[in-house]
Structure formats: structure tokens, C-alpha cells
């Protein structure tokens, strides 16, 4: 059994380790807890089953590597062959991820009372976990256990989905050969990010989704704008029908749709969500309940509802699947273990999100569609980025695509939500989220003094056009 360092934690024999806190899985919340607790006198063991996942999903196979490839795709020179540029981009991706992976190991190793144990964990009883690596076995006994095993790409029961030409969001990042024709099954955030990415690399991309339109939770004008933008980049949409089968051919695959259609491709990406990783953890032996999707059921402090010495952080607790939410999960658990114990998941207000298209699409709070569904009396302002005179930055960068929409309360003048689809939206949305948490009025944002040229200064113009929601 390999461990990165030994601690002062007492052991009952050579194959048993006793610690105060055991963290299973290296994701953002888990590694932050292990480092902070292990640096403050708490004996911690961090178990990770794969060297390639040290640092967690985000830095190894999700957020950072995919955004690196999206950026590389957008930078492809016109004369660069798609396959060659993809190979070059993957090499750049791998170099960056290798550095981040190594640094993440160092960050935990630097904690004097933390130990890293490599292997696959499974509960033996409520306070004991057995870690297996090949023929080696180690049992770890802990007073508190934090499960942080995350999620994996979902595998829908489609005939032919086991073909070597069928990928998930992890494996497609190293597709070989480069797929000149790519079918993406699923028009959600992951599917659309990869659609824009591979279209940027030069692939012919088709998105197949059973929905009548992409991005059903977004306003219709925003979703239509995204579809048009991706269409102009070379993405074709086949909507209103799911996939019935994937069949190998002499030179690729045929993707059969439920409406009787066929799309020929070199490769297929299944982007239909992510699944829990609790099936092999032996949670029943610890009395840990899961929901009907396999996610650990937790209370407002992230404690298991059935085993109060167990916490679940990150994607595995069934909450929003964002790295920054996992980081906040860490704060809640740390507060339970060594703080006042007052921090709650329900304290979260105005949590933003971004889909990294080119340019990115960001959201916080409610949009016009939700305001209508709730029957709320609100003011709305919306403007295409190309028409915002006070926002020259996107034009400077040669990408005036997108639009900005805001929704506010006409009585309190507080911002209720915003959709920001433009260059730098991933930064602007953080400012708007903070404004919502702090109760800053739209008038203060409208009259704010912002740097120039910046994307933030669009607020000066857009918020000056708030009007009642039309019937």
C-alpha cells in the first residue's frame, strides 16, 4: 500500500491506520479539508484510487482540461490542419494537467498530519474502511468520514454504445484519430461545450437531442441565439428525437434516431449527464442511505441523514455539480468539525454558473422565462452585445456575439437575475452574483464607475433600459 507520507497517527497493526478524519476521494472539497485539517493538528487520511485523478475531476478530466481545449480550438490558425492542431492542443492540455496534478499532491503532502493512501475504498462497518490496491489491503478507522467520490459520465442503455468509436466527455479529449465527423448525443452544457470545441477544431458536428430546443431552461431568445451561433460555426442540430442505436460501419458508425433518421460519423460523444459513484462503496455496511439515483442523502450541514459521523461533499451529495460548490461544501464541513457549526447549505444565495462557449454564457438568479412562470411583477432589460455602444471590448477582441439580459424587482430595485452571454461573462456574472447577495440596487450598478474598455461597463447602458415585463 503506497502512501505519500507517514503521520503520527497510531496504528493497531501494520495493516490498520487510525485517524480522526478519513476523506474518500480527492475532489475540491475533500483535498481542501484534508490539507486544512491536516495542517491544524487533526490526523487525516485522504484515499484516492487513481494517480491520474490526484487533484480531482475538475483539474484532471473536466473543468480545466476542457476549457484549455476550448481555448485552443478558438485559437486555431486558419491554415492549421484540424487533426494536427488537435494533437498540439492535447499535448498542451496534458502538460498543464500534469503540473496541476503534481502540485495537488504536494499541497496535501505539505500538511504535517495528513497521509495519502492510494487504492479503492469500501466500508467494512460504520467507522472502518478497507482500501485495496492490487493484493494489498489496509483498514482505516476514523471517527469522522467524508465521502467525496464524485460522479462519472452516465452510460445510457443505447444498443451499440459499447463501440470503440463511442466516447464520453473524458475519453474524447484524447480521441485518436481526430473525428472529422462527430455526433454528440445530448444538447446540455457538456454537449454544447464539446460541440463548440470540436467545431472550432474543424470537425463536422451534429448534436442529437430529444428536446424541441436546446437549453430549455434558458430564455427562448438566448437559446435561439446560441443555436444560431453554433450553427454558424458548423454545428448541425437534430432535435425532437433521441438515439435508438449506434451501428458500426466500414469507415465509422451510423447513429440511428428514434424518428427513423441516420447520421454518419467517425465518432460519437455520449453527453447525457453524470452518475453517482456509490455502488461499490459498501455504504449499506455503514448505514448510509442514498436516493433513487445513488447519491448520498444529506441534511443541510452535509451530514448523512442516517449516519451522523459521515459527511458527503461535492457531486456525490446530489447538489449542483460545480467545483466551487464543492469548495463551499468544504467550508460547511470544516465549520461542523472545528467551527461554530452554524454554516448551512441553505445559506447559499445567488450561485452563478457558466457554460464555456466562445463567448461564454453565464447565469445567476432567475431569468425572464422563470419570472413569467412564477407570475412575478418584474422589470427586464435585454440587449444584443453588438448593439451595446458602451461596451467596445467584445468588438476590440473581434467577438461581439451574445446578449445581456437582467431581471429586477420594481419595488426594491434589487437584481433578481441575469443572463450574460459575451466575452468575459464568467467574470461579470461574479460581480452580479455578489451584488445580489449584498442587496446592491440595479441603480447603483447602472451608475457604477467601471474601467474602460471592459465588459462590466455594459451595465451602464443595459440597466438604463429596464422596462416592465411584457404580457
DSSP string, 312-375: E-GGGGTS---HHHHHHHHHHHHHHHHS-S---GGG-----EEE--SS-EEEEE--HHHHHHHT
DSSP string, 208-227: EESSSSS-TTS-HHHHHHHH
Neighbours of 355 (CB within 10 A): 20
CB 365 within 8 A of CB 350: yes
Catalytic residue, candidates 71, 229, 309, 452 = 452
Count CA atoms within 13 Å of residue 235 on its CB side: 27
452 has catalytic annotation? yes
CA distance 152 to 280: 13
Mean predicted confidence (pLDDT) in 194-206: 98
pLDDT band at 336 (very low <50, low <70, confident <90, very high): very high
Q: What is the pLDDT of residues 369-390, one digit of tens each?
A: 999 999 999 999 999 999 999 9
Judge whether residue 57 has pLDDT over 60. Answer: yes
Average pLDDT score, the chain: 95
Q: What is the pLDDT of residues 385-427, one digit of tens each?
A: 999 999 999 999 999 999 999 999 999 999 999 999 999 999 9
By C-alpha distance, which of 231, 190, 181, 197 is closest to 89? 197
CA distance 215 to 367: 13
Mean predicted confidence (pLDDT) in 309-338: 98
Judge whether residue 4 has pLDDT over 80. Answer: no
Judge whether residue 60 has pLDDT over 50. Answer: yes
CA distance 13 to 31: 26
Q: What is the pLDDT of residues 279-323, one digit of tens each?
A: 999 999 999 999 999 999 999 999 999 999 999 999 999 999 999
Residue given cell 488537435 in the structure block: 86
Phi, psi of 84 (to 5 degrees): -65, -45
Q: What is the pLDDT of residues 138-155, one digit of tens each?
A: 999 999 999 999 999 999
pLDDT at 270: 98
CB 325 within 8 A of CB 161: no
Long-range contacts of 93-102 (CB under 8 A, 24+ apart): 93/65, 93/68, 93/69, 93/173, 96/64, 96/65, 96/68, 97/59, 97/60, 97/64, 97/65, 97/68, 100/55, 100/59, 100/60, 100/64, 101/52, 101/54, 101/55, 101/59, 101/60
Q: Give all domains of the chain, ordered by start, each with its CATH number.
A: 16-153+275-347 (3.50.50.60), 166-272 (3.50.50.60), 353-468 (3.30.390.30)
Judge whether residue 8 has pLDDT over 50. Answer: no
Cα distances (Å, whole numbers) of residue 367 to 40, 276, 362, 407: 43, 29, 11, 6
In angstroms, how far is the first alpha carbon of the chain from the final one?
A: 66
pLDDT band at 14 (very low <50, low <70, confident <90, very high): low
Judge whether residue 13 has pLDDT over 50. Answer: no
pLDDT at 469: 81
Per-position b or e across 34-65, b if 16+ CB within 10 A of its CB: bbbbbbeebbbbbbbbeeebbbbbbbbbbbbb
pLDDT band at 15 (very low <50, low <70, confident <90, very high): confident
Residue given cell 469522522 in the structure block: 144
CA distance 166 to 112: 44
CA distance 245 to 264: 12
CB 234 within 8 A of CB 204: yes
pLDDT band at 471 (very low <50, low <70, confident <90, very high): low
pLDDT band at 11 (very low <50, low <70, confident <90, very high): very low
Helix axis angle for 189-201 and 220-232, nearest 10°, is: 20
pLDDT at 206: 98
Amino acid at each position: 500500500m503506497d502512501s505519500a507520507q507517514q503521520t503520527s497517527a497510531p496504528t493497531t497493526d501494520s495493516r490498520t491506520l487510525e485517524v480522526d478524519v478519513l476523506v474518500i476521494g480527492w475532489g475540491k472539497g475533500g483535498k481542501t479539508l484534508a490539507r486544512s485539517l491536516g495542517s491544524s493538528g487533526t490526523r487525516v487520511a485522504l484515499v484516492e484510487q487513481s494517480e491520474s485523478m490526484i487533484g480531482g475531476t475538475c483539474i484532471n478530466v473536466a473543468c480545466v482540461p476542457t476549457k484549455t481545449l476550448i481555448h485552443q480550438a478558438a485559437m486555431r490558425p486558419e491554415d492549421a490542419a484540424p487533426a494536427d492542431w488537435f494533437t498540439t492542443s492535447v499535448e498542451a492540455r496534458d502538460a498543464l494537467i500534469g503540473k496541476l496534478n503534481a502540485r495537488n499532491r504536494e499541497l496535501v503532502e505539505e500538511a504535517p498530519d495528513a497521509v495519502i493512501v492510494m487504492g479503492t475504498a469500501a466500508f467494512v462497518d460504520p467507522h472502518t474502511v478497507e482500501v485495496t490496491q492490487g493484493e494489498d489491503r489496509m483498514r482505516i478507522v476514523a471517527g469522522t468520514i467524508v465521502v467525496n467520490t464524485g460522479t462519472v459520465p452516465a452510460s445510457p442503455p443505447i444498443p451499440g454504445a459499447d463501440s470503440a468509436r463511442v466516447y464520453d466527455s473524458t475519453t474524447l479529449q484524447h480521441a485518436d484519430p481526430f473525428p472529422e465527423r462527430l455526433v454528440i448525443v445530448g444538447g446540455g452544457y457538456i454537449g454544447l461545450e464539446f460541440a463548440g470545441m470540436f467545431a472550432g477544431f474543424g470537425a463536422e458536428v451534429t448534436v442529437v437531442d430529444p428536446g424541441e430546443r436546446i437549453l430549455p431552461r434558458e430564455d427562448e431568445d438566448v437559446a435561439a441565439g446560441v443555436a444560431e451561433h453554433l450553427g454558424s460555426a458548423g454545428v448541425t442540430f437534430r432535435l425532437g428525437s433521441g438515439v435508438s442505436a449506434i451501428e458500426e460501419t466500414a469507415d465509422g458508425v451510423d447513429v440511428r434516431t428514434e424518428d427513423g433518421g441516420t447520421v454518419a460519423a467517425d465518432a460519437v460523444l455520449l453527453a447525457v449527464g453524470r452518475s453517482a459513484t456509490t455502488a461499490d462503496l459498501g455504504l449499506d455496511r455503514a448505514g448510509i442511505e442514498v436516493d433513487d439515483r445513488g447519491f448520498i442523502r444529506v441534511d443541510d450541514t452535509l451530514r448523512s441523514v442516517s449516519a451522523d459521523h459521515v459527511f458527503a461533499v461535492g457531486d456525490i451529495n446530489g447538489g449542483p455539480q460545480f467545483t466551487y460548490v464543492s469548495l463551499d461544501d468544504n467550508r460547511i464541513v470544516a465549520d461542523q468539525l472545528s467551527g461554530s457549526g452554524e454554516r448551512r447549505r441553505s445559506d447559499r444565495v445567488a450561485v452563478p454558473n457558466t457554460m464555456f462557449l466562445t463567448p461564454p454564457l453565464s447565469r445567476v438568479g432567475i431569468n425572464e422565462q422563470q419570472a413569467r412562470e412564477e407570475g412575478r411583477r418584474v422589470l427586464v432589460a435585454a440587449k444584443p452585445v453588438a448593439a451595446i455602444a458602451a461596451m467596445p471590448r467584445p468588438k476590440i477582441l473581434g467577438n461581439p456575439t451574445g446578449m445581456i439580459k437582467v431581471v429586477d424587482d420594481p419595488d426594491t430595485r434589487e437584481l433578481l437575475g441575469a443572463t450574460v452571454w459575451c466575452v468575459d461573462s464568467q467574470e461579470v456574472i461574479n460581480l452580479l452574483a455578489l451584488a445580489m447577495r449584498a442587496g446592491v440596487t440595479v441603480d447603483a450598478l447602472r451608475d457604477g464607475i467601471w474601467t474602460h474598455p471592459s465588459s462590466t461597463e455594459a451595465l451602464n447602458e443595459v440597466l438604463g433600459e429596464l422596462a416592465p415585463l411584457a404580457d
